[in-house]
Amino acid sequence: MNKKNLDHLSKEQHYVTQERGTEAPFSGELLHNKEKGTYQCVCCGADLFSSNTKFDSGTGWPSFYDVMNSDAVKVKVDNSHGMTREEVLCGYCEAHLGHVFSDGPQPTGLRYCINSLSLDFKQD
């Protein structure tokens, strides 16, 4: 995987994943996607989330209560915008994906709030 090869990204995808941007809520193509499959990093293609853990959080961003496996993402404390949040990065190429909050459903109690622009979807 070559993290420098980002030529395939759109301007918006580049902004979100490389400049830690946030897409407008309810704008994401994958927000209402209910197909079975795997959500992958739009930058490097790594498997990040399964459709089995996707849920409708009502926030306007694709939300998951768990990750694909323990290597899939890295979590980093983010103190920007006057808040302390946990930033979620791709575990392989460190693309910015979104944030994780502790108000999700069981069994994890976590809510991974992920930009649709950070993700590719591979249908099963």
d(CA 37, CA 93): 21
Contact 113, 35 (CB under 8 A): no
Contact 18, 6 (CB under 8 A): yes
d(CA 50, CA 33): 12
Q: Tell me if residue 113 is catalytic.
A: yes
Query: Nearest CA to 54 among 32, 22, 86?
Result: 32
Among the listed residues 44, 72, 88, 117, the single contact to Zn ion using CB under 5 A? 44
For residues 64 to 103, the per-residue mask of contacts with Zn ion, x marking binding by CB under 5 A and - elsewhere, is --------------------------x-xx-x--------
Angle at 18 between CA 12 and CA 19, to 5 degrees: 80
Which residue number, 46 or 117, has a Cβ lying nearer to Zn ion? 46
Q: Does 41 bind Zn ion (CB under 5 A)?
A: yes
Which residue number, 32 or 94, has a Cβ lying nearer to Zn ion? 94
Which residue number, 86 or 105, has a Cβ lying nearer to Zn ion? 86
For residues 12 to 31, the per-residue mask of contacts with Zn ion, x marking binding by CB under 5 A and - elsewhere, is --------------------
Count of residues near Zn ion by CB under 5 A: 8
**Phi, psi (deg, nearest 5) at residue 88:** -105, 125
Site residues (vs Zn ion, CB under 5 A): 41, 43-44, 46, 90, 92-93, 95
- Positions annotated as catalytic residues are 113
